[in-house]
A = this chain, B = another copy of it.
Amino acid sequence: MPELFQVVTIAEANARLSAHISPLARRESLPLHAALDRVLAEALHSPVDLPAFPRSTMDGFAVRAADTYGASESLPAYLTLCGEVPMGRAPNFTVGPGQAALIHTGGMLPPGSDSVVMIEHTQYLDATTIEVVRPVAIGENVIPIGEDVKRGELLFPRGHRLRPQDLGGLAGVGIVNVPVVERPQVAILASGDEVVPADAEVAPGQVRDINSYTIAAMVRRAGGEPILCGIAPDDPAVLERMARAALEAADMLVLSAGSSVSARDHTVKVIESLGAPGVLVHGVAIHPGKPTIIAAAGNRPIFGLPGNPVSAMIAFGLFVAPALRRLQGMPDADPPALQAVLTLNVPSKPGREDFVPVRLERRDGVLYAEPVFGKSNLIYTMAHADGLVRVPLDLTGLYAGTTVDITLF
């Protein structure tokens, strides 16, 4: 009674689902301080030039560059002080030929001046005269209008996830409320007659629900809002009722399937019953995580993740996280990977991609990845790991000493 899978590659699995999902239309406007890690619902352009006036990048004197040409230690230029630029206000005077105005970093260049001489290259001769011992070029030590960003310039495209510096950039041009995509609502439903809530006493034969916690946390990391829908028994009618109710209120449903073959079988049937197009993928050429189910009801993705916690986490990263990106209108992107040297051989079988949890350790400036071998039923395999190494489809393993890409989690 072996299971019959129509196993597909990771890319094919994601492509099949992509064809059915599109970015969510729901959006909200958030103040900048609440917008960290949120995703822009539309492209933003600058309403202003930044800076809006020529700014000094140094403490020194605003001058006309031509007045300093040829100046040197032995033959200084002599300039007459005509004022001091106040911080935060426009100077109410003009720098004429042969004149200089005291200016501070960030100050506005007075009309007439075109450059700033650093204070280190000057000396007071008396209260109204300075010596300049080095020439400056026009524009030197000055940020011209719009150098940071120009009015009308694209700041960030739609689908951009806002980082600290992006919030700063928006503040700088006066955008203090941003249109962001609402967090996708992700219903999470565990299943299995043997699974009980984590706070329950367990009787022999029962195990606590692990996947609802790992999946909810991964949903949050991927920008979604988890909705916990409890634990369904291995009863197709009850599972179907609970799955239908869960999906009703959500943009996506993530089921963690029962672990037995019969439980997985009825999970497929229940998912198929939730609406067209139904099951798109049943089985992916990965280990662990092979029995992953990917489906859609209308434009709502549905995932049947394996019941084993390690498999569920790996399948989440490969399929659910990219789908959450797409629902938020984000461009497809691989998670950032870092390089490390494998400490042990990692065996694999050709025709599938193997994912092996690794622990990272830096010794003498070199980053090493030590495989954490363990059955995919063991959650502490993941808790003891820092990332995953992937063995490509066509290899039979990776040798110790190889430099490999590690995806952190």
B198 touches A32 (CB 8 A): yes
Q: Is A90 an interface residue (CB 8 A)?
A: yes
| Chain B residues positioned under 8 Å from A339 (CB to CB) | 338-339
Q: Which of B147, B164, B212, B338 contacts A218 (CB 8 A)?
A: B164
| Chain B residues positioned under 8 Å from A7 (CB to CB) | none
A380 touches B169 (CB 8 A): yes
A165 touches B89 (CB 8 A): no
Given contacts A108-B204, A313-B165, A375-B57, whether A213 and B90 have CB atoms under 8 Å apart is: no
Q: Which of B90, B163, B208 contacts A409 (CB 8 A)?
A: B163
B205 touches A87 (CB 8 A): yes
Instruction: Report the bound CA distance from A167 to B383 in whole Å.
Output: 9
> Which chain B residue lies CB-closest to A3?
B59
The residues in A between 329 and 366 inclusive whose CB is less than 8 angstroms from any CB of B are 334, 336-339, 362
Q: Which of B53, B169, B204 contacts A379 (CB 8 A)?
A: B169
| Chain B residues positioned under 8 Å from A33 (CB to CB) | 213, 216, 228
| Chain B residues positioned under 8 Å from A173 (CB to CB) | 208
Q: How far is the CB of A369 from chain B (nearest CB, A)?
A: 12
Q: How far is the CB of A83 from chain B (nearest CB, A)?
A: 13
Instruction: Report the bound CA distance from A383 to B173 in whole Å.
Output: 13
Q: Residue among A105, A149, A202, A234 with the most chain B CB within 10 A?
A: A105
Instruction: Report the bound CA distance from A204 to B205 in whole Å.
Output: 73
Q: Which of B89, B147, B176, B313 contacts A164 (CB 8 A)?
A: B313
Chain multiplicity (copies)? 2
Q: Is A377 an interface residue (CB 8 A)?
A: yes
| Chain B residues positioned under 8 Å from A174 (CB to CB) | 198-199, 202, 208
Q: How far is the CB of A29 from chain B (nearest CB, A)?
A: 14
Given contacts A174-B199, A207-B51, whether A88 and B193 have CB atoms under 8 Å apart is: yes
B209 touches A167 (CB 8 A): no
Q: How far is the CB of A380 from chain B (nearest CB, A)?
A: 5
Chain A 175-195 near chain B by CB (<8 Å), digits 1 or 0:
010000000000000001111
A383 touches B171 (CB 8 A): no
Given contacts A120-B2, A338-B339, A409-B163, whether A207 and B106 have CB atoms under 8 Å apart is: yes
Task: Supply 7 further A-B pairs (C-beta < 8 A) apart from A147-B378, A169-B382.
Answer: A50-B379, A90-B204, A105-B307, A156-B383, A165-B383, A174-B208, A336-B338
User: Chain A interface (Cβ within 8 Å of chain B)?
Assistant: 1-2, 32-33, 36, 50-53, 55, 57, 59, 85-91, 104-108, 119-120, 143, 147-149, 155-156, 163-174, 176, 192-196, 198-199, 202-218, 220-221, 228, 234, 258-263, 307, 309, 313, 334, 336-339, 362, 375, 377-380, 382-383, 385, 408-409
23 A-B pairs with C-beta separation under 8 A: A33-B228, A53-B204, A59-B260, A86-B205, A87-B192, A87-B194, A87-B263, A90-B205, A105-B307, A106-B194, A106-B207, A143-B378, A148-B378, A155-B380, A164-B214, A164-B313, A165-B383, A168-B211, A168-B214, A168-B383, A169-B379, A171-B212, A172-B207
